[in-house]
Amino acid sequence: MEAKISQSLQWSTLIDSEKIIRKPSGSLRFSQRYKGQQRLQMAEYCNLQSRKAATWLHRPVTLKVSCSAQNIPASLLESESFPASFDEAMILKDKLEEIEPYLSGRCIYLVGMMGSGKTTVGRILSEALGYSFFDSDKLIELAVGGTTVAEIFKLYGESFFRDNETEVLHKLSSNYRLVVSTGGGAVIRPINWKYMQKGISVWLDVPLEVLARRIAAVGTDSRPLLTGDGDAYAKAFKRLSTLLEERGEAYSNANARVSLENIADKLGYVDVCNLSPTVIAIEALLQIEKYLKK
């Protein structure tokens, strides 16, 4: 595992606050899981960061979302905050500074299965970039007079929902500096890709068991394609696996892929559930950078 991490120097920049504790003296204490070469890489990285950001306080950092965009109702501008650890937020900002000039204001579209974290990670990215955040489902709900996604499916059917989804993506595509969390099924229509191609698409690739666990935890009421009787986890898992079979190829059209399994592997984690949304956002930026430099 250590060999893998030392091979990938860029991963020394992914620092989990659970593993590194900053002492009041400014020195760093590592958990038992970090050894040898890994510790050296992280210490180097942290020292560099400390010099760069000497005025930062050692406390959780809240990245605030700031929003404004053309043709989009003010009521839909998101204002939620998401707390990140000091180290994670610092690394995210640092990476952003590097790649922002190459983005040239292009929108970022997050695609992926239901529960993959498009909304959670999207908010973090938008806030750090100073971009506006939009959840396409919310825009569809507004377009249908405030009707929820679940009600739209029930009252008008899926194809009506999909037509509205396409229309929303069309409208969004004329904007700049947006991060958009798309619905899990947006990838199935080629026309939607045509609109998303004006920006950069990022696939959040999350193992099925994790998706099912997250969805079972919050319930399936707001996700009409997953509703039904029985155990919430088993039901979500079964339905999601069918959907993933149908859509797997479509997701891989995205410009960048963020695989939680790859991140966990590179960081030496056994369980992908230990990956914070900010760490996932950092990996998204690394993959966007890779795409931009191709």
Ligand X SMILES: Nc1ncnc2c1ncn2[C@@H]1O[C@H](COP(=O)(O)OP(=O)(O)O)[C@@H](O)[C@H]1O
Ligand Y SMILES: O=C(O)C1=C[C@@H](OP(=O)(O)O)[C@@H](O)[C@H](O)C1
| Nearer CB in complex with ligand X: 232/292 | 232
Pairwise CA distance, residues 263 & 279, whole Å: 9
Contact between 183 and ligand Y by CB under 6 A: the answer reads yes
Tell me the closest approach of the beta carbon of residue 173 to ligand X, in angstroms: 20
**Of ligand X, ligand Y, none, which one does residue 225 interact with (CB within 5 to 8 Å by kind)?**
ligand Y
Q: Site map for ligand Y, 4-43, x if CB under 6 A?
A: ----------------------------------------
Tell me the closest approach of the beta carbon of residue 58 to ligand X, in angstroms: 23
Per this entry, what is the length of the chain? 294
| Nearer CB in complex with ligand X: 117/199 | 117
Tell me which residues in 121-180 interact with ligand Y (CB under 6 A): 137, 149
| Nearer CB in complex with ligand X: 245/271 | 271
* Residues 6 or more apart whose Cβ sits within 8 Å of residue 122: 108, 110, 133, 135, 179, 180, 181
**Of ligand Y, ligand X, none, which one does residue 199 interact with (CB within 5 to 8 Å by kind)?**
none
Q: Which of 95, 177, 223, 266 binds ligand Y (CB under 6 A)?
A: 223
Q: Site map for ligand Y, 86-125, x if CB under 6 A?
A: ----------------------------x---x-------
List contacts with ligand X (CB under 6 A). 112, 114-120, 181, 214, 218, 275-277, 280
Tell me the closest approach of the beta carbon of residue 179 to ligand X, in angstroms: 12
Q: Which stretch binds ligand Y (CB under 6 A): 10-18, 83-91, 219-227, 249-257?
A: 219-227
The binding site for ligand Y (CB under 6 A) comprises: 114, 118, 137, 149, 183-185, 223-225
